[in-house]
Structure 1
Amino acid sequence: MRLHSLRLQAFGPFAGVETVDFDALSAGGLFLLHGATGAGKSTLFAAICFALYGRPPGDGEVVLRSHHAPPGLLTEVTLEATIAGRRLRITRVPAQERPRKSGRGTTLHRPQTQLSEWRAGAAGQGGGWRAVSTSHQEAGHELELLLGMSREQFCQVVLLPQNEFTRFLRASSAERRHLLGRLFRTGRFGRVESWLAERARATGEAATAAREDVLRLAERVKQAAGEALGPGAGAPDGTRPETLTGPARDWAHALVAAAEEAHLRALAAEREAAGALAGRRAHEGAVRELHRLQAAFAAATEQRERLDAGRPRLHELRARRALAQRAQRLAPFLHALDQARQAARRAEAAEATARQPLDQEQAALGAERLAQAERELRGEIGGLNVLLSEEAEDESAAARLRVLEQESAEAARRRQRARAWLDGEPALRAALTARLDAARAAAAEAARHADALHALGVRLAAARRRDTLLDLAERAAARAAELHATARAADEELTGIRSRRLDGLVGELAGALAEGEPCPVCGSRSHPAPAAPRPGRPTRRDEEAALTRQRRAEAEHGAAREEAAEAGRRAATAEGEAGEGTVADLAARHAALDERLAKATELAADAEPAAAELAALDRAHARHAEEETGALAAIAALRAEREALTARRAELGRRLRAARGPAATLAERVRQLTAAAEALSRAALAARAAEEAAREFADRAAAAEAACREAGFATVEEAQAAGLPEEALRAVEEEIEAHRAAETALAATLADPALREAARQPPADLESAATDLKAATEAHTAAVAASAAARARAGELAGLAVRLETAVARLEPLEAARRTARHLATLANGTSPSNALRMQLESYVLAARLEDVVRAANLRLSRMSDQRYTLAHSDDRAAHGARSGLGLTVVDAWTGRPRATDTLSGGESFYVSLSLALGLADVVTAEAGGSALDTLFIDEGFGSLDEDSLQTVMDVLDGLREHDRVVGVVSHVPDLRRRIADRLHVRKGPQGSTLTRHSAPEG
């Protein structure tokens, strides 16, 4: 992936539109991103991540919109990059509030995504951008597929945060496992461990359940066998799986065979008892039949005696029946007379009841006069019904007036509340406006203080360096002066030694002559008068020693002079940077300015709350003004409706009072008249019915008297007394018929030969026969029960034996599966004895990845550390038996021994962790299978390096530019601005941050 350009709009600290031309910035392959703390350096990478993945780095909620941006400018990010050989342009607009196009307030602007691809044109024609997708999900899936890595992996390998990798370098195995697991997506191996553990648990539960089934079935077999089958009913041992196979089967089959034999014996006993029962049942039947015949003969004899005693009663019943039958022929006349009498009485009572509600005058009227009075009242009621709708209208108007009074009062209260709020609103607005103006002024002042504080901090640091360097230069000059005097003394000493040695050189030469050896001056081998050496003169050795001292003093003096000059130059530079003022003065000014900045910042923080409150006040003003207007309109409308209803009620009242009369309401008056008309109607009807019933009674009485005289009865009362009710007459006839039927049946019974024969025999012993039958029945029942129990036991044991054999067959493979699954699960989670390193499966995979990372890191670490350090992966078991696999050590070539990572110095930790981060980036990219990362960012950490180490690291970074790779360095180190030509400076200010590109190193 290579970045071409990035366009930010109202994003983060950038209030306006800022564009980063990565093609121009990375022309040299290396560029620097620098600026003050909080200016927005990391925001650029957040924008790149947001464009590619739709979310910035990190897991928390991040506010993308700039607080400095004008309301109408939407937050937007556009990134152009070449990914997997395709040049793409991604534009994303996050969800945000924007002003409404009409009216006040804001509305939610929905998020937007647009993915386009550059397509080259045909020969002689230009290319253009072609839309690929406007869907968030579709564009995100396409980009992640091309990049080949997740957002977390991208943030880890494209931006190398040194602090995190320093922590990773010194972390524990568990912490390394967490980070590497996220980057290499090895969670699937953890899921394999979980699956194996779950499989071991499931197979263990299945085997346990199968074993419990076998034990439960064995217990049921034992219970089914009971004590009837003898000692063989004991179940085999079930504590071990191997004891639940062959022995259980044999034991169950033996019990089944024993149960079958017991069943056969029980069947033979049942057949014997059934034969005995049949004989006893036949005997008992014969005895019972004899007893029945003897009892029937005795009962017939007794019944004949009772019939003879009841003959006088039979004659009396026959006479009473004849009289009742003669009176029964008069029943229609008598019934009609009785009905007419009752009807006349009821009509007379009904007439009296109907006349009770009438007044005295009306109660004396006949039926026709009562009907005429009713008709007159009905006419009056018809006239009143016409006015009922007007009375309902009057009641509705009264109810509406009460509602209007309540609504008017409520509208007045709403207007009063709205007006009270509007009267107090100017004071609130003035206070909020003053707060907002003060906060904005404080924000501008804070920005000025921040810039001044930064500049003053630079001067204060330079002043401290100046004082230190001036003191160092002064001490170096004093030492150079001392060494200069020493060098002059050594030079004078050498000159004196050489002079004195020259003066005594003849004596020195003479002292070196030997007889027969040539003279070094004249060459003669004879030395007749050699000069005597002068005592106390220096020798060659003395001169050489003095020369050595003189050269050493000169060298020390030269080095001290150079050191003093260098210290002077550095002090002069620092003095130029510091300007005028002492360290104490600058420190005091810095503290005071920092305090003013804190106060201004605290006051500036009120800008956003004050603006929000002012906007809320605007919305509240509109709401209360609208409420007041609505209340005034409602009051006027309600007043007009109330006046109209009052006039209508006055008109209706005059008409209704005349029609109502003494009643409270017109409806009550109608009800009164209707009740009176109904009473007259009922009285007239009752009078007519009473007259008709009296005439009908007189006619029925004459007809009944004539019929009774014709039937032989002197009076109607005599005929009524002779008659019987239908039920009584039927009872008399039934009694007569029953007596006749009993005589006929009794004669037939006494003529039966079987009865006469049974009567001549001795009495039957029914109790003894029944006792014998009961004993035989009980014996047969016991035999049948024993046979059924034996059959059920044999059947149950046969079924349980089959189920037990099936359960045993099922247990064997489950036990084998349980052992296999347990072995694999303990092997994968590191608890198996065969896993000597106690290494989990995911840790094993991560250890292999960590070895790849260490190999990739050592390619650069060896160069950065001047062949001194290399990283080594360790899978040794940790202390106290803890799990291992992700250990890291540093091998020091100077000592040949490994070192713990936390023994490295700050600078060493930086380039070791940088090498580790670069190696991890290479391995993650290769592992993810995505496109090559042609653009890489390295974040901070350079300040911990000395000059030589910094140069070595810069050489390695230059090496990263091979194969057309671009490296961006994010740092505050001033020396990097002199080393890196292409720079992007992020400046912060009260109106937001801005970007400036430089293409030459600082002097």
Structure 2
Amino acid sequence: MRLNTLTMSAFGPYAGEQTIDFRRFGTNGLYLVSGDTGAGKTTIFDAIVYGLYGSVSGDVRETSMLRSRYADDRTPTFVKLTFEVNGQTYHVLRGPEYERPKARGTGTTKQKALCELTFEDGRPPVTKAALVNSAIEEALGLTRDQFKQVSMIAQGDFLKVLLAKTDERTRILRSLFHTDRYRRLQEEINEEANAQKSALLERERRLQEKIGQLETFPADERFELEALVRFLDEETKACHTKRDALDAAQKACDAKRIQLGKWNEQSKKVQAQQQARQQLDEANARLAVLEQERQTLALRQARYGTWIEERSALSQALEQARRRKQTEESYQNARKKRKALEQALESEKARVATLQVEIDQLQTEEGDERTLALELEKWQEQAGARQKIEALKAEQAERSRALSEAKQRYEQTRTDYEAAQAKAARIELAYYDSQAGWLAKRLEDGRPCPVCGALDHPHPAALCAQAATKEDVEQARQAAQRIRKALETEANACLRLEEAGAHAQTELDGLEKKTPPRASIEEQLARLRTRQKTLVERTRRLEAARQTLQEAVGRLAAKEDEWRTCREQEIEWRTTWQALGSATDDEAALKARQETLEAQIETFEQHRKRVDEEWLAQQTRRAEYQALAQESLNAPADLDRQIEALRDFIQMEQTRLDVEKKEQADRLYALEHDQKVGLQIEREQKETEAQRMALSELKNLADTLNGKLGGQYKIGLETYVQMAYFDEVLARANVRLMQMSEGHYELIRYQAGNRQSQTGLDLGVIDHYNGTKRSVRTLSGGESFEASLALALGLADTIGAMNGGVFCETMFIDEGFGTLDDQTLGHAIDMLAQLAAHKSVGIISHVAALKERIDAQIVVEKRQAGGAFAKTIV
């Protein structure tokens, strides 16, 4: 991938639109991105990563914080990037979502995010963020993290990799080479082994519980499954023998019980025959009495027929009397109801007339309600305008107070900024005054002076009392810079308050000119509301009267219909009553005679029914008793004594059998229980042994993967995989390190001598000048820079090779050159220049010596009011 152009608008510290043309540096070469600390050098790489992947390069910057605080409201925030991959040109445009002031009115609105990828080969553009990201990753062959590792080398990060111990380096390489899956595999296997161990212990505990549940088997300290099987077989045979004997005894007892049943039936028949002979005599006597009663009833049958005829005639006479009485009552009720309805009709007619008069009076008082509504609406709008005027006056007062406070804060911040600038100037002057003393502190006998080259240093310069370090200078500058940013914020706040106050005052003056005084408005509103209330009350009364009239007319019509119906019913009942004529019999006497006849008829019928039913029943019983009394029975004289003796024998025998069956059942239940438990014990033993063997294999695997084998170096699976990656990185890094150190140093990986702690990624160097091996922590500052830079470049090459040989033609190296002497800096630049023969390499640094050695530059300037500005020097 090769960069062509980068355009930033209101992005980070860049307030306006800024375009960087990387094509001016050629297809390959070395160029410098320089400028003061915080000016916006790294922001260029942030913009490139944001354009490609939609997020910035650092972990502390969020997409929502990308809009420049120096930009005005009309300048949009976006990044436009043009790059080439395999001869194809891509144009990507992205802009974050942010809040901006509304174009009209007050308040803010949300500016939607932008995302568009266009091509020069005729393909349609892509506008969805997910599709754009996918297309760019497919074209580059790198994810965001991989692109950062290949294209952006931050020296501080790789110095940590260089000086870290095995445990810390494991965590760093895990994020670089994504070896988490190997660590998770170690943990999962180890957790599985621990879980299997716990499961085995639980299974052994359950096995002992099963052995303790045996009821018939005599358990001892040493349990053997074969002994349990033999014992259960013997007990089973004994139980079967006992069961056969009990079954035979039970059959003999059941035969005795059948014989007892037969004797009981014969004894019952003898008793029943004796009782039947006695009951036969009683039935004959009762039949004789019933025969006499039947003859008496036959003589009274003729009188019963006379009672029936008389009852029919009485019923007809009573029905005639009841009908005439009911008809007369209905006629009188209809007559009374008609008269009541005539009075109600007169009342309703009077009510209707009164309501009609009231409605006529209210209709003569109607006025023009629409004119009143329009006039009321006009004065309500004037009242709203007056309220808005008062609200604007209150806002102006509050805004004036806020402006006064903002001006006070601005003056105080301006004083603080002037003081901080003066302090930073004093510290910087002290730093330059003390440089000779700092150089003298680093002199060592036998090593050449970086100024004069002498090997002896008899009179080194002393460090003055007011000496200041470079860090002191940088901290003072940063403190002044923070106060300057606060000063700009205060100035912008004052300007916004003044502009808002002027705009509000213009609007207030316009409203005052066209709005009447509040007293006049309130007087007009009160007059109109009083008139409106009167019209509303009249309308309500008119509608109520109309509704009441409608209801009264409906009631009057209903009353008239009801009166006509009642009048027709009255005529009908009077005609019917007159047609029935007058009553000739006494109704009370008829009822009394009817009740007497009913009692006589019911008494005769009940007597006849009882005699007939009892006579038939006695006939049936006499036939049954005769048959039973004549039956022939052969029974011994002492049958009852024999029955009693046999019953006692059966009871004693059954009691004995029940006891023995209960004991046998308990024995069988316990035996069956032990047989089931025995099968479970056998199964548990087999499964326990199988699980014990599986756990042994799993534990050996877990110890191997986690580096816990006895007598071996503690190298886990993840570390083992990282060793392979690390060896490849070191092989590529040593090519650069040998060049920069002129064959002096070579990075190596070695095993620690202690087998009690994790090892495998310890890093050292071979000093080829004296043939010794030592820790990388013994390297000087410049040597550590060379080693970390070589390590970073080796890692970039390795990651590119891991991703299918992806060749990224653009690389940035961020800082790390400030601690180098001239010779080391020269070696580093020479090596980077060789690297730049095949790709474009940008060094992000503010070191002055680099400006003298590298002609092609992007200079980032920090302006007081307009944010950052980048210019290209070729």
**Contact kept in structure 2, 1:337 and 1:701, CA below 8 Å:** no
In the other structure, the counterpart of 2:112 is 110
For the residues of structure 1 that align with 2:638 and 2:570, how far apart are their CA atoms? 83
Quote the offset at 1:987 in angstroms. 0.5
Letter of the aligned partner of 1:113 in structure 2?
C
1:841-852 alignment runs, 5 A limit? 841-852=717-728
**Contact kept in structure 1, 2:91 and 2:118, CA below 8 Å:** yes
In the other structure, the counterpart of 1:428 is 398
In the other structure, the counterpart of 1:724 is 599
Change (3 A) 1:3 1:672: closer
1:75-114 alignment runs, 5 A limit? 75-83=77-85, 86-98=88-100, 106-114=108-116
Quote the offset at 1:986 in angstroms. 0.5
Report whether the alignment pairs 1:819 with 2:696.
Answer: yes
Letter of the aligned partner of 1:423 in structure 2?
K
For the residues of structure 2 that align with 1:701 and 1:779, how far apart are their CA atoms? 95
Q: 3-state DSSP class of the match of 2:622?
A: helix
Quote the offset at 1:115 in angstroms. 2.7
For the residues of structure 2 that align with 1:732 and 1:681, how far apart are their CA atoms? 60
1:563-574 alignment runs, 5 A limit? none
Change (3 A) 1:912 1:794: same
Q: CA offsets, 1:771-792, max 9 Å, x none?
A: 6666677678778888988988
Single out whichever of 634-643 and 270-279 deviates more from structure 2: 634-643
Letter of the aligned partner of 2:113 in structure 1?
P
Letter of the aligned partner of 2:488 in structure 1?
A
Report whether the alignment pairs 1:959 with 2:834.
Answer: yes
Q: 3-state DSSP class of the match of 2:867?
A: coil
Q: 3-state DSSP class of the match of 1:724?
A: helix
Letter of the aligned partner of 2:6 in structure 1?
L
The one of 761, 768, 782 aligned to 1:886: 761
For the residues of structure 1 that align with 2:696 and 2:475, how far apart are their CA atoms? 73
**Contact kept in structure 1, 2:311 and 2:594, CA below 8 Å:** no
The one of 735, 739, 743 aligned to 1:859: 735
In the other structure, the counterpart of 1:22 is 22
Q: CA offsets, 1:478-511, max 9 Å, x none?
A: xxxxxxxxxxxxxxxxxxxxxxxxxxxxxxxxxx
**Contact kept in structure 1, 2:342 and 2:563, CA below 8 Å:** no
Q: CA offsets, 1:328-355, max 9 Å, x none?
A: 5555555566678788888999999x89
Q: 3-state DSSP class of the match of 1:18?
A: strand
Single out whichever of 275-284 and 74-83 deviates more from structure 2: 275-284
The one of 578, 593, 605 aligned to 2:489: 605
In the other structure, the counterpart of 1:192 is 185
Single out whichever of 941-950 and 979-988 deviates more from structure 2: 941-950
In the other structure, the counterpart of 1:918 is 793
Q: Aligned pair count?
A: 833
1:364-375 alignment runs, 5 A limit? 369-370=339-340, 372-373=342-343
In the other structure, the counterpart of 2:138 is 145
Q: CA offsets, 1:369-422, max 9 Å, x none?
A: 4554455556667778999999999xxxxxxxxxxxxx9999999877645322
Q: 3-state DSSP class of the match of 1:870?
A: strand
Quote the offset at 1:723 in angstroms. 1.6
In the other structure, the counterpart of 2:165 is 172
Report whether the alignment pairs 1:282 with 2:284.
Answer: no
1:487-636 alignment runs, 5 A limit? 599-606=483-490
Report whether the alignment pairs 1:830 with 2:707.
Answer: yes
Letter of the aligned partner of 1:934 in structure 2?
E
Q: 3-state DSSP class of the match of 1:984?
A: strand
Letter of the aligned partner of 2:74 in structure 1?
G
Letter of the aligned partner of 2:156 in structure 1?
N
For the residues of structure 1 that align with 2:8 and 2:635, how far apart are their CA atoms? 135
For the residues of structure 1 that align with 2:500 and 2:636, how far apart are their CA atoms? 125
Runs of 5+ in structure 2 lacking a partner? 364-376, 442-451, 461-465
Letter of the aligned partner of 1:82 in structure 2?
E
The one of 152, 156, 161 aligned to 2:154: 161
Report whether the alignment pairs 1:647 with 2:535.
Answer: yes
**Contact kept in structure 2, 1:340 and 1:693, CA below 8 Å:** no
1:199-210 alignment runs, 5 A limit? 199-200=192-193
Q: CA offsets, 1:141-195, max 9 Å, x none?
A: 2322343443223223321111222222222333222221111111221232244
In the other structure, the counterpart of 2:448 is none
Letter of the aligned partner of 1:995 in structure 2?
A
**Contact kept in structure 1, 2:290 and 2:611, CA below 8 Å:** no
Quote the offset at 1:134 in angstroms. 2.8
Quote the offset at 1:943 in angstroms. 1.5
1:129-140 alignment runs, 5 A limit? 130-131=123-124, 133-140=126-133
**Contact kept in structure 2, 1:83 and 1:931, CA below 8 Å:** no
Change (3 A) 1:467 1:276: closer
Quote the offset at 1:39 in angstroms. 0.8
TM-score norm. by structure 2 comes to 0.75
1:262-273 alignment runs, 5 A limit? 267-268=247-248, 271-273=251-253
Quote the offset at 1:746 in angstroms. 2.9
Q: 3-state DSSP class of the match of 1:30?
A: strand
- The structure with more radius of gyration: 1
Letter of the aligned partner of 1:702 in structure 2?
D
Letter of the aligned partner of 2:82 in structure 1?
E
**Contact kept in structure 2, 1:889 and 1:898, CA below 8 Å:** yes
**Contact kept in structure 2, 1:158 and 1:933, CA below 8 Å:** yes
For the residues of structure 1 that align with 2:506 and 2:262, how far apart are their CA atoms? 114
For the residues of structure 2 that align with 1:391 and 1:968, how far apart are their CA atoms? 100
Letter of the aligned partner of 1:861 in structure 2?
L
The one of 748, 751, 755 aligned to 2:623: 748
Q: 3-state DSSP class of the match of 1:605?
A: helix
In the other structure, the counterpart of 1:986 is 860
Q: CA offsets, 1:966-988, max 9 Å, x none?
A: 32211121111111111111011
Percent sequence identity is 24
In the other structure, the counterpart of 1:968 is 842
In the other structure, the counterpart of 1:507 is none
Single out whichever of 85-94 and 3-12 deviates more from structure 2: 85-94
Letter of the aligned partner of 1:193 in structure 2?
Q
**Contact kept in structure 2, 1:336 and 1:700, CA below 8 Å:** no
Single out whichever of 756-765 and 32-41 deviates more from structure 2: 756-765
Quote the offset at 1:730 in angstroms. 6.5
Change (3 A) 1:739 1:53: same
For the residues of structure 2 that align with 1:696 and 1:777, how far apart are their CA atoms? 94
1:894-905 alignment runs, 5 A limit? 896-905=771-780
Quote the offset at 1:724 in angstroms. 3.1
Change (3 A) 1:601 1:73: closer
For the residues of structure 1 that align with 2:752 and 2:315, how far apart are their CA atoms? 126
**Contact kept in structure 2, 1:371 and 1:684, CA below 8 Å:** no
Change (3 A) 1:150 1:434: farther
For the residues of structure 2 that align with 1:722 and 1:339, how far apart are their CA atoms? 17
1:262-411 alignment runs, 5 A limit? 267-268=247-248, 271-294=251-274, 326-331=306-311, 334=314, 369-370=339-340, 372-373=342-343, 376=346
In the other structure, the counterpart of 2:7 is 7
Q: 3-state DSSP class of the match of 2:695?
A: helix
